[in-house]
Amino acid sequence: MLWRADDIPRNKFHLNNEVFLKRILISGIAHAFSNLPVSSRHMKITATTILLSASDLSTHMSCKHATFLNLQLARKIIPSPPVYDNPSLVALQQRGEEFEKDYIKQLKESGRTVAEISRGDTKEAVAQTLEAMKQGFDIIYQARLEQDIWNGWADFLIKVEKPGKFRNWSYEVMDTKLSKETRAGAILQISLYSEMLAQLQGCMPEYMHIKNPAGEHHYRIDDFAAHYRLMKKNLLQTIDQPRETYPDPVPHCDICKWWPVCNKRRREDDHLSFIAGMGNMQIKEVKKWGVTTLELMADLTLPLAHKPGKGNAQTFEKLSHQARLQHQWRKINRPVFEILPLQEDLGFYKLPEPSDHDIFFDFEGDPYVGDTGIEYLFGWYYRDEYYDLWAHNDVEELQALEKFMDTVMDIWKQDEKMHIYHFGAYEQSALKDWSANMQQEKKNLTAC
């Protein structure tokens, strides 16, 4: 088994494009994306006050250091970060715009009256929003909302049969999101919009809504009000009494414009997060021992002189060994690895006996196709030959799945001890999800 040292070129949260896209679409990290210019989504300072947006609220929950940097930028203490050109994020933004346009098209085709607010002058946009509410449009698209220092653009205001100050109706907020699951940042955003909306219409909405590819999801505002007030209070306290923070890596790094700046700082500081396999819990523990850099971790005396407060000593000894390999690579400027000794019940010993009929399988996919993405390439290596099945739509994808499973079962009949080897857990879970409505195929897959 090879233990290869690799001084990670990004931070541990940055993945290859396909995995990255699947992750942010599935996990909801991308909740803060909108089709507004970047300059309109973050805090600004005028001659008399500071203006905050819903993105500032969700960003603060995800990363306190991003708030600190945004505040420094707004106060013109630091320059704007270099352009962070990430094609994946651009594609995601475009996909979000398409999803939003498709939804507004559906609303219009349903016969409901739709008012579209111009996103030019913000004062005019507020006036247009208020007038559309007075006239009782069923849907108000890109509603401009402002209250004190807060401002934002709600994707949709949905008319409901609850009396407000405009007669027998009022409105509730709906935002469109690409993520399949609604995350805390999205809830904070629509909670803020709902509060601003209440000031305009004279009554607090009862519900707020998220539209994503899986459908419409409805949330009682009161269920999240306490959390929203706490997050809002925390942000306002930070704005009022800012404290310098450190750019520890967090999942928000994947979509943050400050990533190049923060990563440069971590590189200069030889941050512990660059040690392959080292997590936040281990970093916090070794800092108690005065170990704050990769080099210091590499120089850690073994066996440990400290008893870890969390975790076991063996874990930290392995991390120190890994840091030593990476540090050596830096010094000699060439790859460093070690061949680990063979031990029963560990590593390759845990693999089953090989079969001439073993299959090595992988997917290639595009999460932007349709509502849920598509696995466009089924590829596998079998008996010194490579096989592939291509799919350009849902029908071809299903046909590829069926053909692949037929192939697997034909091979399995020749040797029931064969195995399918794959890159990670994704292939297995995706195949089982697909076969959920194909019970025989699922039974066959489980047998493999």
Confidence of residue 156 (pLDDT cuts 50, 70, 90): very high
Model confidence pLDDT, tens digit, residues 297-316: 999 988 888 789 888 999 99
DSSP 167: B
Quick check: 92 pLDDT over 90?
no
**Full DSSP string of 309-369:** SSS-HHHHHHHHHHHHHHHHHHHHTS--EEEPPP-TTSGGGGSPPP-TT-EEEEEEEETTS
If asked whether residues 361 and 327 sit together in one domain, one would say no
Model confidence pLDDT, tens digit, residues 261-291: 999 999 999 999 999 999 999 999 999 999 9
Give CA separation, 10 vs 14, 34, 317, 346, in Å: 6, 25, 24, 30
Which single residue is written with the structure tokens 């715009």? 97
Confidence of residue 94 (pLDDT cuts 50, 70, 90): confident
If asked whether residues 219 and 285 sit together in one domain, one would say no
Q: Which of 279, 310, 341 is the last residue of a domain?
A: 341
Pairing between β-strand 170-176 and β-strand 150-160 as defined by DSSP bridges: antiparallel
If asked whether residues 58 and 145 sit together in one domain, one would say yes
Alpha-carbon distance of 156 to 123, in angstroms, equals 18
Does 114 fall in a domain?
yes
Does 7 fall in a domain?
no
Does 125 fall in a domain?
yes
Does 252 fall in a domain?
no
Alpha-carbon distance of 340 to 150, in angstroms, equals 57
Nearest to 251 by CA among 275, 280, 276: 280
If asked whether residues 121 and 215 sit together in one domain, one would say yes
Does 247 fall in a domain?
no
If asked whether residues 319 and 191 sit together in one domain, one would say no
Does 281 fall in a domain?
yes
Give me the pLDDT at residue 26, please: 40
Model confidence pLDDT, tens digit, residues 13-53: 334 444 444 444 444 444 444 443 343 456 787 656 889 99
Does 261 fall in a domain?
no
If asked whether residues 331 and 368 sit together in one domain, one would say no
If asked whether residues 322 and 369 sit together in one domain, one would say no
**Whether 139 contacts 159, CB under 8 Å:** yes
What is the model's pTM?
0.78
If asked whether residues 336 and 376 sit together in one domain, one would say no
Nearest to 281 by CA among 326, 244, 319, 243: 319
Count structural domains, the chain.
Answer: 3
Mean pLDDT of 322-340: 92
Give me the pLDDT at residue 226, please: 96
If asked whether residues 136 and 199 sit together in one domain, one would say yes
Quote the domain boundaries for residue 89. Answer: 17-240
Mean pLDDT of 86-101: 82
Q: Which of 240, 257, 292 is the last residue of a domain?
A: 240
In this structure, how many other beta carbons lie within 10 angstroms of the beta carbon of residue 219?
17
Does 71 fall in a domain?
yes
If asked whether residues 83 and 189 sit together in one domain, one would say yes
Q: Which of 309, 341, 373 is the last residue of a domain?
A: 341
Model confidence pLDDT, tens digit, residues 183-213: 889 999 999 999 999 999 999 999 999 998 8
Nearest to 379 by CA among 363, 396, 357, 397: 363
If asked whether residues 364 and 429 sit together in one domain, one would say yes
If asked whether residues 332 and 403 sit together in one domain, one would say no
